[in-house]
Structure 1
Amino acid sequence: MSQPPQPPQPPNEPPQGGFGAPQDPPPGGFGAPTPPPADPFAKQPPAAPSTPPAGGYGSPPPPPPAGGYGSPPPPPAGGFGAPQGPPPGQPPQNPAYGYPQAPPPGQPPTQPGYGFPQGPPGQPGMPPQQGYGYPTAPMHPQYAAPQPGGGKKFSTQMQIIVAAVVAVLLIVGGGIVYSSSSGDDGGKQDEAASAGTDGGEGKGGEGGGLADGTEKAPADTKSKVGFQLPHPKVTDTTVVDGSWVTDKAYVKTGVNEIVGYDLAKGTKLWSIPLAGQVCAASRHMSKDYRTAIAFQEGKPSAADKYPSCNQVGALDLATGKLLWSKSVTSASNGDEPVRFNEVTLSGSTVAAGGTSGGAAFNLANGAELWKPKTDTNNCYDMGYGGGDALAVVRKCGSYDEPQLTIQALNPATGAPLSSYNMPAGVEYASIVSTKPLVVAADVGDTAGDGSSISDFFSIDAATGKLIVRISADADKYAADCGSTEVEKCTSLAVGNNRIYVPTEEHEGGGEYGDTNEIVAFDLTTGKLVGGRADAGDRYTLTPLRMDGSNLIAYKRPPYDKGGQIVSIDGSTFKETVLMVNPDDESVREAETSFSTNYAEFIYEKGRLFISEQMVSEPSKSSSLDDKQFLVVSFSTV
């Protein structure tokens, strides 16, 4: 996907980073029924064909074109299950792996392989009776069952062939599963067959299948609408990046303020006024609900339309207080305050970086801990990744020949613990995770889709040695990182020594509508692990975060359904539904007005909050009845 346009930048200042363009919701909103939106995540059903598909009523749909994304291999000549003879003069070949095999002469039939149709008790090798409603295709007369008055017998060989046909139909109906490849192929995957899952509603049991996480499935997964906050009134594009959830409040960046809202009602609990607008916010919090932001030194005016983002501050989200704020100067820029692009938190260290310098502070009192060192090679810290550890993307060299280095840092002193040099020609890199240390980059500008990801780099933080480089074909995988920002990756998660990423949308198994999956790469081998989580027809899955060894993901719905939250077992990929949102038209439109790539999704203990990262002045073409939301929420508690 392409990156949205960036907000205007002040003269002689670097870009503030690709937060993403505001997404205008479709007309309507809560209470305003409109036709289903033309949504790239949910296509409209095509007109029904006037004639049944070739092959007879009930026959399976033809396979997708050869080579299509996720398509199964083409059937052998003669159709699925047709016996294949060896080439002239060649001995018989073993049947393909996974297909039922005939027993040697004189031997009883063997038990079918795991996952293939089983014969009735006491009748090994016999094909099973199809369940009620299972589609049946016309059979070639050669293989037809005996008819009154005579006909050919249904031989054991034909029974085996029919079993193969049924197995293939099950495979095609279930979709393709991704498994780890054998051999050193640079991370390319083999594909194996497995049954898929649907995107329907589900009931949960308290803690069922979620022993390794803190999120529990409620007895009733159907959610109710929590609260909605309208867009603030602005006259220019305004960054509202930053949202957090505490035990008592949902906290969201507003215009020149940070506001805490009641979790259930959405009523304002407190507000922290700021000198200027927030321009960067840490996604991390301490255990006592403290976090960090960067904000502008003042409000826009005629004399200074774009105030500099040179203030760093710490917030106490439990009490609604600004603990401290300050600016710092750069060793290379005289008395001019450093302009910050990003800010993060690791333990008790707040680290902020930008193209003109950076600094680290004590979270509790704002004491300056360290600044990045300068040298004759024009090195500077582009930005930091926080969380369980602290890492930096450091850029050196000339504009035409930059050299990026990934360093694990001592949070208290800023001293490098290890260093890894990125491949030559990489201009930007993003820190996906600090523990384990995982970095994403677009090597050679080969991604081509605006995601800024062509490869992931799994790095040993202790030694700085590359463990494995994982090729992530942008045509297949849909994770996303900020083009110039260090800690702005979305639609992925790291845990269990794996990185979980969604596939790009592709045709589903139904009559219409796209779908996708979540797969995982092993961070030691770089291979795709076996298994996947299926979104189900017309749904798309997006990873949100880890919950212990489980993965929390959002299912973006089709135009006529509500979204879902699921917990995915990090090893088996079994999905447990945690939340199913209402499918009322006005609610659906409000929910799907947010883009999964340019909005913030937080799910915590039965509550889902979806919010914008950027807002702008309403379009002149918008109807007075159009509703735009800063936040929408849903709850099962």
Structure 2
Amino acid sequence: MTQPPEQHRPPSAQPWYDHAQAPAPVVENPYTLGARRQQPPPPPRGGFLRSRLAAAIGGFVAALLVVGAGAGVYALNSGTDTPDNAVAKPTPGTGSSASPGASAGTGKRPDVNAGRKPGEAAAWAAWSQTDLPRGNHLLHDLWFVGDLVVQAAYKEVVAYKVADGSEVWSVPLPAKVCDTPVNPTPDGKVVVAYANANGDSGVKCNQLQMIDLKSGKTGWHRVLPDSPGSTIITHLAISGDTLLAGAGMSASAFQVTDGRQLFTTGKDNPGACYPHDVAGGAKLLQIDWCALSSDHPYGQIKELDPRTGKVKWRYRPQGDWKVGKVLSVEPLVVTETLSKNVLTWRAVALNANGTRRSVPDIAKYKFDHCGGAGDAGEGAQNCPGAAADATGLALSQGNKLAVFDLANGKLRWAVKADGRFAVAPLRVAGPSVIAYVAATPSKPGLTVEFGPKGGNPKKLLNHATPAQKVEYDMMASKMAYRDKRLIIAPSLLDGDDKVDKARMLSFAPGPS
């Protein structure tokens, strides 16, 4: 019998979660500091959309189905109410909406505003101007200062105007950037780590370079001191004017302003714990892995005074659990994994003094660690598919989104974007959640806002139709929503000259 068109199939009102489901699997960092343990290798990076290719085998439904907690089923169309042939004038002043000239091997780059319909968001795209070697190259954290958005990739740090995506400055570096902190200092300075170009004892991620994001001027440069263990992997975090760089079995703190070394942390005697990762922002945090050579390894997280390194508090999970990722610093929400079974994980909310606040009831809802993106050595704060505020934690997995109350850990509501590859939380603001709904091969994405009970989301941005292919090809992983503007970026840039993908894409309200 002939099947009806996909868009006409009746929607299912069944919840997507299964209360009998066991905890979802997690992939941990295969590198331990101080002792290499046998771990399953990480999957390829690809951000929160990495699993969407499998979903492409099926058809696509034309509505966004929303299953709220007792709120029923709703439909949200991705387009506008205007006729398909209605065309608005391109938004002036978008310097990167169309790239001049041709790209390497792929013809002229598309104008992401040409043919934009009334009611659709104005768009710009930024393209890499660097000739990259073959292979995949990691795109690092998005930083905002003044009217600029800045990002490191390969051997350079580049700043773009938030308003139109035009390049403002570029800082070349001698070797590939290997880590960046999630946030800069309050006055707009950052420190990046890059590899030693010609190290005698192998490649190390040990070169620190300070950059003023407002001007693009470089400041001090330091070589990270050698420490027990390995400096192949280095993680950076900034809190206030303090940079904490964790590598090997120690962590070193520097004053961002002038590069002066403040303190060093190493073995934490209670429990034979060593630095594993760092996190910054409102607090300076260090994650330790402990008793690695024993039969019962575990982990802890502690807050450090950013000037002295004094430990303010320690939180140690009960039993053989170790802290994995920091989903949010303020409020403090972390993930934990079993030391001997990294396929088991949970989220834990902590109070300001490091005591346990709640354990969100996520095990029933089929969520993978970090939205299924895995972990291939990025820092503790690089965990896509999560957002939190003082009262709630939002998690996403593919096209599913759920919000948990941090006071008691209970589910508030859950939604499913039927016919969409992925939906990801951008911001939790009291009872509301702002989320990104990814583009499909035939539809542009959306930026939406869910209310206190999920329900029918409000459309904040209808992403521009001319940018649909660019957005879909991007498989966004880095995301930021600021001043009613969405900026997204992929996890990787491909160095193949025959592949030309935007490194950044933005949508904002535009004239109709």
Common fold, TM-score beyond 0.5?
A: yes
Match of 2:346 in 1: 455
Which ranges of structure 2 fall in alignment gaps of 5 or more residues?
1-23, 82-116
Matches within 5 A, 1:414-563: 414-426=309-321, 429-443=324-338, 448=343, 454-462=345-353, 464-473=354-363, 476-478=366-368, 480=370, 482=375, 485-502=379-396, 504-505=397-398, 515-516=399-400, 518-529=401-412, 531-533=413-415, 535=417, 537-538=419-420, 540-546=422-428, 550-563=432-445
Deviation at 1:546, TM superposition (A): 4.1
Task: Verify: 1:257 aligned to 2:156, yes or no.
Answer: yes
Match of 2:469 in 1: 589
* 3-state SS of paired residue (2:506): strand
* 3-state SS of paired residue (2:301): strand
* 3-state SS of paired residue (1:588): helix
Deviation at 1:304, TM superposition (A): 6.9
The one-letter amino acid of 1:468's match is S
Aligned length: 438
Matches within 5 A, 1:390-405: 390-400=284-294, 401-405=296-300
Deviation at 1:278, TM superposition (A): 1.1
Residues 315 and 613 of structure 1, relative CA distance in 2, 3 Å threshold? farther
The CA RMSD over aligned residues, in Å, is: 4.1
Match of 1:386 in 2: 280
Residues 351 and 176 of structure 1, relative CA distance in 2, 3 Å threshold? same
Deviation at 1:618, TM superposition (A): 2.3
Which structure is larger by alpha-carbon Rg, 1 or 2? 1
On the 8 A contact 1:542/1:554 being kept in 2, the answer is yes
Matches within 5 A, 1:82-121: none
On the 8 A contact 2:327/2:335 being kept in 1, the answer is yes
On the 8 A contact 1:198/1:537 being kept in 2, the answer is no
Deviation at 1:600, TM superposition (A): 1.2
Deviation at 1:533, TM superposition (A): 4.9
- Which TM-score applies when normalising by structure 2? 0.73
Deviation track 1:42-90 (CA, whole Å, cap 9, x = no partner) reads 554399xxxxxxxxxxxxxxxxxxxxxxxxxxxxxxxxxxxxxxxxxxx
On the 8 A contact 1:295/1:309 being kept in 2, the answer is yes
Deviation at 1:429, TM superposition (A): 1.2
Identify the match of residue 564 of structure 1 among 442, 446, 452: 446
On the 8 A contact 2:464/2:507 being kept in 1, the answer is no
Q: Distance in 2 between matches of 1:439 and 1:616?
A: 32
The one-letter amino acid of 1:358's match is A
Residues 603 and 44 of structure 1, relative CA distance in 2, 3 Å threshold? same
Identify the match of residue 259 of structure 2 among 366, 375, 392: 366
Q: Distance in 1 between matches of 2:505 and 2:323?
A: 33
Deviation track 1:359-397 (CA, whole Å, cap 9, x = no partner) reads 111121222111113356653211112111122211221
Task: Verify: 1:613 aligned to 2:504, yes or no.
Answer: no
On the 8 A contact 2:221/2:259 being kept in 1, the answer is yes
Would you tell me which structure has more strand in proportion to its own residues?
2
On the 8 A contact 1:327/1:338 being kept in 2, the answer is no
* 3-state SS of paired residue (1:589): helix
Q: Distance in 1 between matches of 2:239 and 2:255?
A: 10
Residues 635 and 522 of structure 1, relative CA distance in 2, 3 Å threshold? closer
- Which TM-score applies when normalising by structure 1? 0.60
On the 8 A contact 2:29/2:375 being kept in 1, the answer is no
Match of 2:502 in 1: 629
Q: Distance in 1 between matches of 2:222 and 2:503?
A: 28
Q: Distance in 1 between matches of 2:42 and 2:163?
A: 32
Match of 1:21 in 2: 45
Residues 496 and 7 of structure 1, relative CA distance in 2, 3 Å threshold? closer
Match of 1:279 in 2: 178
The one-letter amino acid of 2:180's match is A
On the 8 A contact 1:478/1:491 being kept in 2, the answer is no
Q: Distance in 2 between matches of 1:265 and 1:39?
A: 31
* 3-state SS of paired residue (2:411): coil
On the 8 A contact 2:60/2:419 being kept in 1, the answer is no
Match of 2:127 in 1: 229
Deviation at 1:262, TM superposition (A): 3.0
On the 8 A contact 2:431/2:451 being kept in 1, the answer is yes
Residues 609 and 275 of structure 1, relative CA distance in 2, 3 Å threshold? same
Residues 273 and 540 of structure 1, relative CA distance in 2, 3 Å threshold? closer
The one-letter amino acid of 1:177's match is G
The one-letter amino acid of 2:485's match is R
Q: Distance in 2 between matches of 1:557 and 1:547?
A: 24
Deviation at 1:501, TM superposition (A): 1.1
* 3-state SS of paired residue (2:237): strand
The one-letter amino acid of 1:275's match is P
Deviation at 1:607, TM superposition (A): 3.5
Identify the match of residue 59 of structure 2 among 22, 45, 50: 45
* 3-state SS of paired residue (1:198): strand
On the 8 A contact 1:348/1:363 being kept in 2, the answer is yes
Deviation at 1:446, TM superposition (A): 6.1
The one-letter amino acid of 1:363's match is V
Deviation track 1:285-315 (CA, whole Å, cap 9, x = no partner) reads 33332233222122xx6x8796310123332
Q: Distance in 2 between matches of 1:522 and 1:46?
A: 32
Deviation at 1:591, TM superposition (A): 0.9
Q: Distance in 2 between matches of 1:523 and 1:4?
A: 24
| Range with bigger deviation, 314-323 or 474-483 | 474-483
Residues 297 and 3 of structure 1, relative CA distance in 2, 3 Å threshold? farther
Deviation at 1:271, TM superposition (A): 1.4
Residues 20 and 631 of structure 1, relative CA distance in 2, 3 Å threshold? farther
Matches within 5 A, 1:99-178: 176-178=67-69
* Larger RCO: 1 or 2 (CA < 8 Å, sep 6+): 2
Deviation track 1:492-538 (CA, whole Å, cap 9, x = no partner) reads 11113211112x45xxxxxxxxx53x222122211112x34553553
Which ranges of structure 1 fall in alignment gaps of 5 or more residues?
27-37, 48-172, 179-191, 204-218, 506-514
Report percent identity of matched pairs: 20
Identify the match of residue 355 of structure 1 among 234, 237, 248: 248
* 3-state SS of paired residue (2:471): helix
